[in-house]
Amino acid sequence: MRQYTSSPGEENDLQRFFAGKTEHTLGLFDHFITEFQKIGPVTVHPAKTMIGIANSHKRIVYITQLGKNFIHVVFPFKERYEDNLCFQKIAQVPGDVQCNHHFRMLQKDDVNDEVRLFMRLAYGR
């Protein structure tokens, strides 16, 4: 595991999310961040209930759950991308144009070309 955050306080908060997680789940997290870093530099920002992944301007995706054998990632977009095979659910935020696209990663190869396309969209490239 690499250090992903910019401050020691955030690193401690991130370790709280990692506590008790399987090596499989931690490997998925590491792989997801590594794949994002191939698009551009990202930082990790743990909060109370989720982990934000940010480019230099803003948080671009959120890891909302580290399960026993998966990670759950939410991609917030201003429009719905219905024609895909990677999102298990798309939900509009009430009173907002934001549509949250839910991706569950079970294996490292779940980050395929289609997911990378949405990662680039989220990143802004």
Domain ranges of the chain: 8-123
The hierarchical CATH code for the domain 8-123 is 3.90.1150
- % of the chain beyond a pLDDT of 90: 86
Taking residues 14-38, what's their average pLDDT?
Answer: 95
Residue type at 60?
A: I
**27, pLDDT greater than 60:** yes
pTM, full prediction: 0.92
Q: What is the pLDDT of residues 82-108, one digit of tens each?
A: 999 999 999 999 999 999 999 999 999
The alpha carbon of 11 is separated from its chain's Cα centroid by a whole number of angstroms, namely: 17
Taking residues 60-88, what's their average pLDDT?
Answer: 97
Nearest to 88 by CA among 101, 71, 75, 98: 101
- What is residue 8's predicted lDDT score, i.e. its pLDDT? 73
Taking residues 65-73, what's their average pLDDT?
Answer: 97
Nearest to 71 by CA among 28, 114, 21, 19: 28
Reading the block at residue 65, the tokens are 């759950």
- Where does the pLDDT of residue 2 fall: very low under 50, low under 70, confident under 90, or very high at 90 and above? low
- What is residue 3's predicted lDDT score, i.e. its pLDDT? 63
Taking residues 25-45, what's their average pLDDT?
Answer: 96
42-68: buried (b, 16+ CB within 10 Å) or exposed (e) per residue?
A: bbbbbeeebbbbbbeeebbbbbebbee
Query: Which distant-in-sequence residues (6+ apart) come within 8 Å of 82 by Cβ?
Result: 90
- Where does the pLDDT of residue 49 fall: very low under 50, low under 70, confident under 90, or very high at 90 and above? very high
